[in-house]
Amino acid sequence: MSLLRARTAVSPLRRRFEAAEPVLPRVDDLVAVERPEEPMHCLRPAVIAAASAGFVQGFPGKTLYAVKCNPEPGVLRAVWEGGVRHFDCASAAEVALVRTLFPEAEIHFMHPVKSRGAIREAWSRHGVRDFVLDTADELAKIVAETGGGEGELGLVVRLALPKGRAVYDLSGKFGAAPEEAVALLRAARPQAKRLGLSFHVGSQCLDPLAWREALALAGQVIRAAGVAVEIVDVGGGFPVAYEDATPLPLGAFFAEIEAGFEALALPGAELWAEPGRALVAAGGSVVVQVQQRRGDALYVNDGIYGALSDAGLPGFAFPVRLIRPEGEVAEGRRGFMLFGPTCDSADRMNGPFWLPEDVREGDWIEIGQLGAYGACLRTGFNGFDRARLVEVRDAPLL
Ligand SMILES: *Cc1c(COP(=O)(O)O)cnc(C)c1O
């Protein structure tokens, strides 16, 4: 079946077939024909394109896709298809990948700590003009490696937020405290063609008020700095549904952000967002095979060192469904835990994952909402680095 492609965890997928794709297959049909003994990653390009289009049309500003969330070329193409033209990159490799795929993309280098070589390459080879910083050292580095910026530099100061409410709190690592951010805005102003302030509330943040509060803090910093600011970047963190989470619609978040931004009264300033998860989570799943059953524990061929990192300690409740191409399936349901294939006893996912009570060796399980922070976190640990990648036309599991 020509749509199936194999790859290892660490090498990029090469497209072997560029011809216009026929109608995409369904997951169940592929499993029935291929009977995959390796994890099978299923991309739903139409789902990603629709989610991206929804965000671009609903967000009252510019949408930058956070590439780290899923850098698969098929995903990037679907995001582009949905109307995204701006990309939040955090490494030289991400910058080069996006530039190769989309010569016209606007790329923003949003990692607060960059190597000098990465800055130089982004600036001179890939036409990147916007860079984030949260220290005076990084400001000096950016100015030096871009030859003073030649009057074209966009500089965005990353503001630290107090520990927040997101499932993944990211307040501990990056960001300048408010007083430092004031000083950085003043120091960066003379170097910048356009100056911005950014923050990130943390990932899978279910509370729209988190953005309202962060915008209020951003406003205090901008007023204290007393310099003109052209960009306010509200970061990512927009939530998606899991079995145990049904977030408010994105419109509720956009409304808070719009109101919070208007309250800052910054005429001429642009609003940016850096969504990752919200654009791509529903557009990816992985099909694993049961290799052994021991009571309520299923030993499957993917785990926390593969695409299921967030099902481990973070304990995300991913939706699941059983695929048994032939034979009946029991009516009753039961909660199972999963063990991944590596020898590490930490390679377990407690779930519970609700499946038919007669799950047995040889069955397949599709695990959904894995388009974000799934396949991109895979490692080659213990030799379990083989997986398949296929594009399908199925609806998302949730
Ligand atoms: C990871 C990250 C994002 C994307 O976060 P999501 O929760 O996937 O939306 C955006 N901005 C920054 C700075 C990040 O680190």
Residue range 6-30, pLDDT digits in tens: 544 444 444 444 556 579 999 999 9
> What does the pLDDT read at residue 168?
63
In order of start, what are the domains of the chain with their CATH numbers?
5-44+282-391 (2.40.37.10), 60-274 (3.20.20.10)
Pocket of ligand 1 contains residue 164 by CB under 6 Å? no
Nearest CA-CA partner of 103 in 80, 79, 78: 80
pLDDT of 102 over the 90 cut:
yes
Distance (Å, rounded) from C-alpha 225 to C-alpha 181? 8
Residue-wise pLDDT for 375-386, tens only, equals 999 999 999 999
Q: State in Å: Cα 13 to ligand 1 middle.
A: 23
Cβ neighbours, 10 Å, residue 235: 27
Mean pLDDT, residues 322-348: 97
Which of 166-180, 193-207, 232-246, 265-279 shows the lowest per-residue confidence on average (mean pLDDT)? 166-180
Q: Which atom of ligand 1 is nearest to the CA of 238?
A: 9
Q: Which of 59, 69, 171, 206 to mutate to test the pocket of ligand 1 (most atoms within 8 A of CB)?
A: 69
Mean pLDDT of all residues in 260-280: 97
Mean pLDDT along residues 339-360: 98
Tokens of 226: 């007393």
Which three-class secondary structure state does DSSP give residue 157?
Answer: strand
The finding on whether 55 has its CB within 6 A of some atom of ligand 1 is: no
**What integer is the mean pLDDT of 334-339?**
98
What local confidence, expressed as pLDDT, does residue 169 receive? 61
Rounded-to-integer distance, Cα 369 and Cα 284, Å: 6
Report the pLDDT averaged over residues 256-261: 98
For residue 21, the model assigns a pLDDT of 58
Residues 6 or more apart from 92 whose CB is under 8 A from it? Answer: 115, 117, 118, 121, 122
Residues 250-258: what's their mean pLDDT? 98
Closest CA to 320 of 379, 375, 396, 240: 396
Average pLDDT over residues 85-113: 98
What pLDDT does residue 172 have?
Answer: 73
